[in-house]
Structure 1
């Protein structure tokens, strides 16, 4: 179902690159939503963080096994928020794209995190005039000159995961 949704999204709508200086109020609203979402994690505000996501939101983490549906992600995240130490991502760069129908937007962002520079990307849905995160993907960025080294480091993990997945 998720793959169908993403394929439908890609085929049915087109977008324009982000330019917050252009005064586009919709992109500014989306930018604000994303900033508030990251701020809620940085300040360990569990309710604010999850209220900015749709009820059926998906969070894809940096580990290949992390494909969190909203309820699972809440359970996983709650202890971090309860300790007052969630995660603190600082935006270095962000691009926002709008669907022609005004219902969906997607984005990519470069983040300064405790894991170094990461890439975030996702989809937002407009629910009655309120933008909410529907799908988010967090990736650790790896410089091209280090890919071979990282590939060697994760080889045994990848082998175990392929076996677990039946491939």
Structure 2
């Protein structure tokens, strides 16, 4: 319910012309926060999960990957037992904010071990800092090869479960 309200607020703020690119100071704070979050994963620091709101959602690249924070933490445990869970480096990030700067959203282009990815996220400002409410990661597929990728996915999904 909280996410539905947040999504409605974002839509209304945008429609009302209240959504705006973040000012330089807020953008710097958000960039530092998100970069540190990515560094937490790159260094397998469990602080990564503390930056996600208790009821926050992380959507990965696989269609089955939609987790609330604590479910995500359980799933990702094996990755965080290594020296590095995964490494995402921002190539470009756009940051936007509500007029009161309490709701912030961003999109980013990332250099990852999967190649170039895109992501978007929603952050809210709390009394103690920022928390990620929603994050969605996707592999950036060039339009020129999208047909081939789609075909591979269809072929894969047509296989019986035992063959996957």
Does TM, normalized by the shorter one, top 0.5?
yes
Query: What's the TM-score once normalised by structure 1's chain length?
Result: 0.85
Q: Residue 124 of structure 1 aligns to a residue in which SS?
A: strand
The residue correspondences of 1:14-53 to structure 2 (distance < 5 A) are 14-17=18-21, 24-46=24-46, 48-53=47-52
Aligned length: 155
Q: Deviation per CA, 1:88-147, whole angstroms, max 9, x where unpaired?
A: 011100000011122110000000000000001010010115111110000000001011
Q: Which residue of 1 is the match for residue 153 of structure 2? A: 154
Q: Residue 37 of structure 2 aligns to a residue in which SS?
A: helix
Structure 2 residues without counterparts, runs of 5 or longer = 160-164
Q: Which residue of 1 is the match for residue 162 of structure 2? A: none
The residue correspondences of 1:117-132 to structure 2 (distance < 5 A) are 117-132=116-131
Structure 1 residues without counterparts, runs of 5 or longer = 161-167
Runs of 4+ in 1 over 4 A off after TM superposition: 156-160
Q: CA deviation at 1:38?
A: 0.4
The residue correspondences of 1:107-118 to structure 2 (distance < 5 A) are 107-118=106-117
Q: Which residue of 2 is the match for residue 12 of structure 1? A: 13
